[in-house]
Amino acid sequence: MIKPEKIPVHVSIIMDGNGRWAQERGKERVYGHAAGVESVRAVTEGCAELGVKYLSLFAFSEENWGRPEQEVSTLMKLMFKSMEEEFDTLMKNGVRFRVLGNRARLSPELDEAISNIERATAANTGLTLIIMLSYSGKWDIQQAALRMAEAGAHDLEPFLVTAGIPDPDLIIRTSGEKRISNYFLWQAAYSEFVFTDTLWPDFRKENLSAALQEFASRKRRYGKIDK
């Protein structure tokens, strides 16, 4: 059992390794993405049970638009289908759903479906599930800087897409890679990192618990020294 005060408020996950998981099974990469949806379900449930308030998932980067057209369109369809299928469960569990990123690049149909679910779940008070879609850290800082200048303001934070959401306490990356990959460049200033070799489609509640255990053992100093 982890002490409640040691549970991170915001957990973020770089879901990596879907392609390799599929290839290991002699299947196409998209098969791994479909399997990854089950992991999304498991960690959402796990976070709600453990008392995590915000779960953000890096689902698609600005750079991912450069993948083969068939993989991109399958991923977008998967997003659409999963949202429709999970809507009732989100409502039943009081989950607030948000999608953050460069939404202008999404198809109008997907963008509208997302807005509808965001609106319908806006008053829910349980876990906030945030899908980072068409997102990259540099893009976020650039768009925030532009809007800040237009507004004649001096604080960047209210203009980031994550405005109002606490910075991630813990960032987990699966599949053995140890990079930030243009993810939360601003928001990760004081995040703790946990890297695991587990490929995303194999990631389950036990893996989440292990990462939270590791987080609970860390000492955070925010650039200061121990008293």
> Does residue 182 have an active-site annotation?
no
Site string for ligand FPP, 66-105 (x = CB under 6 A): ------------xx--x-----------------------
Shortest reach from residue 154's CB to ligand FPP, in Å: 35
Number of residues that bind ligand FPP (CB under 6 A): 21
Q: CB nearer to ligand FPP: give 160 or 173.
A: 173
Task: Decide: is 20 part of the binding site for ligand FPP (CB under 6 A).
Answer: yes
Whether 18 is catalytic is no
The interface region with ligand FPP, picked from 31-39, 105-113, 157-165, 212-220 by CB under 6 A, is: 31-39
Stretch of 11-19, 140-148, 162-170, 215-223 contacting ligand FPP, by CB under 6 A: 11-19
**Residue 131 makes contact with ligand FPP by CB under 6 A:** yes
The contacts of residue 58 (CB under 8 Å, 6+ apart) are 12, 13, 14, 15, 132, 135, 183
Q: Could you write out the DSSP letters of every residue in 129-182?
A: EEEEEEE-HHHHHHHHHHHHHHHT-S-SGGGSTTTTSPPPSEEEE-TT----TT
Our finding on whether 46 is near ligand FPP (CB under 6 A) is: no
- Which residue of the set 18, 64, 140, 207 is catalytic? 64
Considering only residues 18, 44, 134, 207, which one is a binding residue for ligand FPP as defined by CB under 6 A? 18
Which amino acid is residue 34, in one-letter code?
A: A
Nearest to 204 by CA among 8, 13, 3, 1: 13
In three-state secondary structure terms, 9 is coil
Distance separating alpha carbons of residues 8 and 214, to the nearest angstrom: 11
C-alpha separations of 57 from 13, 69, 89, 170 in Å: 5, 22, 18, 12
- CB neighbourhood size of 20 (10 A): 16
As given in the structure block, the two tokens for residue 172 are: 């987990």
Contact between 171 and ligand FPP per CB under 6 A: no
Shortest Å distance, C-beta 71 to ligand FPP: 8
In whole angstroms, the minimum distance from the beta carbon of 152 to ligand FPP comes to 37
In three-state secondary structure terms, 194 is: strand
Task: Identify whether the C-beta of residue 159 lies closer than 8 Å to the C-beta of residue 143.
Answer: yes
Which residues of the shown chain bind ligand FPP in the complex (CB under 6 A)?
15-20, 29, 33, 36-37, 40, 57, 59-60, 64, 78-79, 82, 131, 175, 200
Active site residues: 16, 64
